Each structure stands twice: as structure tokens, then as C-alpha cells.
Amino acid sequence: MQKNNAREVWFIRHAESVANAGGRTREAPTYPLSELGFRQAAQLSAMLPAEPELIITSPYVRARQTAEVAIRRFPKASVEEWPVQEVQYLDPALCVDTTQDERRVLSDAYWERCDPHFAAPDAESFAGFITRVADALQRLAPRAERTTFIFCHGRVMNAVAWLALNPPGVIDAPAMRRFFHFIHGFIVPNCAILPLHFHPCGRRSLGLMWVPDGIEAETAGRTPVSLAGL
């Protein structure tokens, strides 16, 4: 799987969560996988075609539950937890016992405001989120592992791709609008894999996103994947 002697980092979105399936949830860090999601996590791990030297996981429950199956399959891999959690741009107090679809109104208002430095109470600004993802990429640059798996989230993978393909000179309102349009054309399904190649010269290149064969279909009538992160 190596590309021209490059190191490979695979960003892997978690399997279906209870929120993805349309269920009511409380706090974003604690959303667990759905019953289907647990099956998808097992299917995903079985179909991974490369053996990692390092497995990184988000601290959020749904990502850790997805990673746990791969961690058991690849016991020689080192395991680390990094701040690659999903962006929380809505006030958590307003999201308790709601569904992703019900949070859509709050999300629409946030993006219409289009202030990259605005942060709701106990939430993260757009600028803070993009900086956090960029910091993770910088942290990866000096690592020596040939293959790394990062179990994370849809918007994180959107940001990785956006920074690789359309890096902003400054994180301002126009950049935030560009990201908003980008994420609606770069849909990240559950269990999707996005390879990022770190070349010896220091250059990074983005591979094609894919979902392994054999992953069970998503829950019928589930919340649209475009609402990932809510």
C-alpha cells in the first residue's frame, strides 16, 4: 500500500453511531455505536488490508468503540489517543436529548452567521477546529511509523481533505464559506478510509477515499450523512 516510499496515514471514520441512526443523544463525546455500528466495526476491521504500526483514536466513544476491534486484530500496533474528536460547534446544553435532524436548525443558524471565531458556550469555533486538525497533521509529520490508522470523525476527515486540497491563507469568513460548500460535495460515509501520504521530501498528498467491501448497509431512514458532526 506504500506510495513511492511515502508513509501512509489512514483517517477512518467511525461506524454508525446512535446519533447517525436518528436516535436521541445527550453529550457528543458519549454517543455510542448503534447495534448496526458494532457489526460494521467488526466488518471494517476484518477488511483492513494493511497492518498498522500505530493506531490513533479520538477520545469520543463512537471512535474508540470502532477502533477497539482493530486494536484487538493488530496487537503489535502502538495505541495513542489524540484530540482528533469531532467539532462541537453547537452549545451542548441546547443539544441534550435531541436528534441530529432536530439540531439542523441550530446548525443552519451557525453557518449563516459565518463567523469563524465565534464559539457558543462550551463549544469550539471554526477557526479553533481547523487549527486543531492542522496541528494534528503537523504532529504526524515527524513520526516514523510506516502505516498509521486514525479512527476519527466525518468533519475531521473533511478538514484533512480541505487542508490538503484547498489550504486557506487565512481562516476568515470567506474560508469558512468555502469549507461549508466543500463538505457538501465531499461526503464521508461511516467506515470510510481517507489515505494521506507523507513523502520523504516533506510533501503530503491525498489518496482516494474508499469504503471497504463487506460493510453492512446503513440504517434505513437514517439521518443524512451531510449532518455528520451534529
CA distances from 139 to 26, 88, 136, 143, 198 (A): 31, 22, 5, 8, 12
Instruction: Give residue-wise pLDDT tens across range 103-132.
Output: 999 999 999 999 999 999 999 999 999 999
Contact between residue 22 and residue 205 where contact means Cβ atoms under 8 Å apart: no
CATH class of 7-227: alpha beta
Percent of the chain with pLDDT over 90: 88
For the chain, what are the domain ranges?
7-227
Which of 4-8, 17-21, 75-79, 140-144 bottoms out in mean pLDDT, i.e. has the lowest?
A: 4-8
Q: Per-residue pLDDT for 27 more than 90? A: no
Written as one string, the DSSP assignment of 144-168 is --SEEEEEE-HHHHHHHHHHHHS--
Q: Per-residue pLDDT for 163 more than 60? A: yes
